[in-house]
């Protein structure tokens, strides 16, 4: 008799506590203890923009004095959307009755009320979120105000060599496809601690997508760090040397991956933030050290000499990359149907690490990488790559 057939197969289930990001869910509350990038500094101007972060729809703008603002879309007066508002020197003015809101939601004018609302406007507040700008990106904090941490600084983006500067990118470099990726953010984040997909998906299945060296099956070590999980991959390199490559995932959603094209050795060049838009969509913001404008774009993968969006359906099938593999797991992968193996040690460690962080928050504590002073908010990363003598490794 045949066994193991698909007959009667039921749909699988996913781990809600890991995947779902809306306010009030366990992961949603954990992620709301951190700053997240919501756009490029250059993308905010006097046109109100719809943004969606962690399942919340919001309106972003920059007032006439240069201050960035992020507010709830429903005007606190009678609820029309501020998407149709006009941005002025001091804030955003609602299209319906002209109430003027500043970037912290204070009501500055109520033109239809006596004295411009001098007596009443102090009683109403437009719900808002704090923003900070750094590394070419705008970061938002959507969590409890009393738990707002200091926006961290990362050594690889702070310690610049002569001629280097920081460039940001919002085109989803490293996502393998278009800027918006229609699947759960964790599918992408887990991919960072899955070094064995590199020689298969990127090294042989679709031809060498990076450089030949990355096609070798690595010797791998997984470790939990105070920040998340790190992966050390060793591969044979030219001259009998060893190529040592360390990648990290760092709370809350950081992807700290040295350039897989092995352009240069040393400390990791860039950081990617996986921004969960909602449960089934994410995007990636990147900031990195460069010496030329547009250099980050060269990190972008090509298949058969073409960018992802230039490939035909047949070519996507012929050269699947990260986008195909991760969206191919479905909008939210079925954790119930997985068979984790030894090579999934990074994924298993990351999930355990996240479970611990969820528990810390549920118990009223502060999760990993949350700091309340500038001094403690300076993060030293281990990610990078170097060539070592085989003898050094043995020692």
The contact set with ligand FES (CB under 6 A) reads: 75, 77-80, 94, 96-99
How far, rounded to the nearest angstrom, does the alpha carbon of residue 289 sit from its chain's CA centroid?
Answer: 18
Complex with Fe ion: residue 279 or 322, whichever CB lies closer: 322
Shortest reach from residue 85's CB to ligand FES, in Å? 8
Contacts of 315 (CB under 8 A, 6+ apart): 303, 304, 306
How far from each other are the two terminal CA atoms of the chain, in whole angstroms? 56
Give the interface segment with Fe ion, choosing from 131-139, 155-163, 318-326, 327-335 (CB under 5 A). 318-326
Q: How far is the CB of 276 from ligand FES (least distance, A)?
A: 29
> Shortest approach of ligand FES to residue 80 CB, angstroms?
4
Least separation in angstroms between residue 104's CB and ligand FES is 17
Strands (DSSP E) found in 30-164: 35-40, 49-53, 56-62, 68-71, 86-87, 92-93, 100-101, 107-109, 131-134, 137-141, 153-154
- Residue 194 binds Fe ion, judged by CB under 5 A: no
CB half-sphere exposure, 268, CA atoms < 13 A: 25
Q: Which does 316 bind (CB under 5 to 8 A by kind): Fe ion, ligand FES, none?
A: none
Coil vs helix vs strand at 90: coil
Q: Cis peptide leading into 269, omega within 30 of 0? A: no
Closest separation between CB of residue 110 and ligand FES, Å? 8
CA 26-32-33 angle, to 5 degrees, is 105
Kindly tell me which residue out of 29, 56, 102, 322 binds Fe ion, with binding defined by CB under 5 A. 322
Q: Are 49 and 43 in contact (CB under 8 A)?
A: yes
| Identity of the residue, 94 or 173, whose beta carbon is nearer to ligand FES in the bound complex | 94
Minimum CB distance to ligand FES smaller for 84 or for 372: 84
**What residue 59 binds from ligand FES, Fe ion, none (CB within 5 to 8 A, per partner kind)?**
none
CB-nearer residue toward Fe ion: 232 or 322 = 322
Closest CA relative to residue 94, chosen from 77, 119, 115, 70: 77
Binding partner of 322, given ligand FES, Fe ion, none, CB within 5-8 angstroms per partner class: Fe ion
Shorter beta-carbon distance to ligand FES: residue 107 or 379: 107
Least distance to ligand FES, CB of residue 84, Å: 10
With CB under 5 A as the contact rule, which of the stretches 261-269, 285-293, 322-330, 357-365 interacts with Fe ion?
322-330
> Phi and psi of 370, rounded to 5°?
-95, 125
Q: How far apart are CA 369 and CA 256, in angstroms?
A: 14
CB of 67 to Fe ion, least distance (A): 38
> Of 334, 372, 347, 312, nearest to 9 (Cα)?
334
In this complex, which beta carbon is closest to Fe ion, that of residue 149 or of residue 321? 321
Nearer to ligand FES, 62 or 93 (CB): 93
Where does this chain bind Fe ion (CB under 5 A)? 322
């Amino acid at each position: 008799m045949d066994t193991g057939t698909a007959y009667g197969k039921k749909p699988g289930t996913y781990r809600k506590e890991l995947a779902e990001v809306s306010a009030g869910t366990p992961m949603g509350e954990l992620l709301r203890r951190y700053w997240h990038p919501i756009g490029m500094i250059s993308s905010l101007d006097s046109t109100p923009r719809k943004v969606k972060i962690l399942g919340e729809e919001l309106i972003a703008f920059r007032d006439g004095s240069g201050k960035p603002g992020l507010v709830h879309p429903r005007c606190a007066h009678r609820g029309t959307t501020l998407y149709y508002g006009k941005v002025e020197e001091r804030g955003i003015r609602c299209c319906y009755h002209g109430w003027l809101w500043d970037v912290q939601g204070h009501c500055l004018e109520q033109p239809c009320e006596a004295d411009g609302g001098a007596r009443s406007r102090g009683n109403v507040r437009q719900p808002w979120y704090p923003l900070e700008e750094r590394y070419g990106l705008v970061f938002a904090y959507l969590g409890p105000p009393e738990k707002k941490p200091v926006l961290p600084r990362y050594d690889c983006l702070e310690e610049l060599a002569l001629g280097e500067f920081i460039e940001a990118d919002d085109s989803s470099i490293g996502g393998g496809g278009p800027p918006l990726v229609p699947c759960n953010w964790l599918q992408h984040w887990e991919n960072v601690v899955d070094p064995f997909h590199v020689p298969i998906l990127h090294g042989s299945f679709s031809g060498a997508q990076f450089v030949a060296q990355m096609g070798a099956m690595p010797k791998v070590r997984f470790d939990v760090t105070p920040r998340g999980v790190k992966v050390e991959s060793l591969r044979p390199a030219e001259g009998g040397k060893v190529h040592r490559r360390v990648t990290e995932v760092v709370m809350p959603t950081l992807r700290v991956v040295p350039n897989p094209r092995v352009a240069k050795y040393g400390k990791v060049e860039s950081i990617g933030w996986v921004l969960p838009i909602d449960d089934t969509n994410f995007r990636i913001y990147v900031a990195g050290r460069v010496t030329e404008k547009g250099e980050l774009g060269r990190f972008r993968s090509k298949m058969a000499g073409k960018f992802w969006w230039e490939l035909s359906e047949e070519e996507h099938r012929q050269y699947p990359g990260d986008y195909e593999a991760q969206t191919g797991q479905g909008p939210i992968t079925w954790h119930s149907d997985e068979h984790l193996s030894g090579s999934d040690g990074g994924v298993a460690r990351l999930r355990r690490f996240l479970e611990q962080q969820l528990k810390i928050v549920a118990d009223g504590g502060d999760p990993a990488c949350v700091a309340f002073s500038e001094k403690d908010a300076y993060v030293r990363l281990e990610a990078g790559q170097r060539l070592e003598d085989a003898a050094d490794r043995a020692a």
